[in-house]
Structure 1
């Protein structure tokens, strides 16, 4: 087991931090998520954080790094940056793939925290039409016939 302490912070004009914080805790501690790899996530009570989960106004994302765009969420160092526009609406690819906003939020948190755990985008991609997409596939952008999936596959259960 590996324990991580996180802090929830905001950047710009965003929605309810309390609702976001509650969702983050629930998502990160789901028995279907990274807990299957031995990760335990606790909000920091003293400000000492292994990483920050930042709910950010879309226009502020490029200020974190040139690799961040206003379109999607990203991770830079110990910042897991969640795009508030995506948090509130998902993406057309995900929604047209049969998803809903609650599942998209779960995928987004798990995917971006997956980067903090050592995973990279598209380290695995769709194994075939109708099969569950790997969590680390950029499902916000493409599904390639795969079924949407908000949790790590068995083959993704490692922590770097």
Structure 2
């Protein structure tokens, strides 16, 4: 019966030892890569790995940035003003120096960049300097040019509008010479035209630039969360505010709690205790003013 013998390991040469160490290092490296891959997958839930585009933009930096889960996403308070204060002064339905981006559906339709002039006219109203104006609507919007022109004419002819000052008058025309144009346009088109004059309307408000009063169709069609009156009244505020700038009026603010907000107040950013109001004058001819805004 043969006896069992213990096997003896052959001695390892220096070359074999070196080779074994290299294999061990490769094995450890492979495990590290696998672990890094697992971390990258987990990172999509809470950490995003951003590669490239460092401060120098040379693609060499790698940064990790924590992102909130869906449950941690910020919420928007619907009672907040619709937009932050823009860099240029937006009007209270709009303003001469500027004004914030509505989707095409929110403004009726996406504009086409071309305009149709309203075939409408009227007699001059008011005294003193008579300014002739025409009305244009960007093609593609759900706004009828003639209907809009008739509404604007009615606003500027109202005894509560600027004709009550005894120094200014207006006349709607469809052709011939004119002093300014009221243009109702999509948010994108308003932004483009106002931006060319250095004004930032942020897709939300109106501006008065050159010979143009640019009316944001989103405001014309949907009004403002800060203005609780009918849409027709808010349209009156847009026109009175913008035309007020055109004849030399600056911004005003609330004169006191419960009082009518001046037409020259930027009411879209909050009423500060005042009541919404679309008209510069009361029915008895009193100017509804407020402290001037520097």
Could you state the TM-score of these two structures normalised by the residue count of structure 2?
Answer: 0.49
Of residues 164, 169, 185 in structure 2, which corresponds to 1:56? 185
How far apart, CA to CA, are the structure 1 residues paired with 2:176 and 2:135? 10
Contact 2:261 2:288 in 1 (8 A): no
What SS does the aligned partner of 1:115 have? helix
Q: 1:57 to 1:47 in 2, by over 3 A?
A: farther
Structure 2 counterpart of 1:108: 238
Structure 2 counterpart of 1:16: 144
- Displacement of 1:65 after TM fit? 2.2
How far apart, CA to CA, are the structure 2 residues paired with 1:129 and 1:61? 33
Q: Does 1:34 align with 2:162?
A: yes
- Displacement of 1:155 after TM fit? 6.0
- Displacement of 1:137 after TM fit? 0.5
After superposition, give the CA deviation of every residue in 1:111-151 in whole Å (9 maximum; x if it has no partner).
1111111122x3x2101110011111001222111011111
Contact 1:12 1:57 in 2 (8 A): no
Count the aligned residue pairs: 151
Contact 2:194 2:207 in 1 (8 A): no
Moved more, 103-112 or 12-21: 12-21
Q: Does 1:140 align with 2:273?
A: no
**Root-mean-square deviation (CA), in Å?**
1.5
Q: Would you identify which runs of 4 or more consecutive aligned residues in structure 1 move more than 4 Å? A: none
How far apart, CA to CA, are the structure 1 residues paired with 2:227 and 2:288? 22
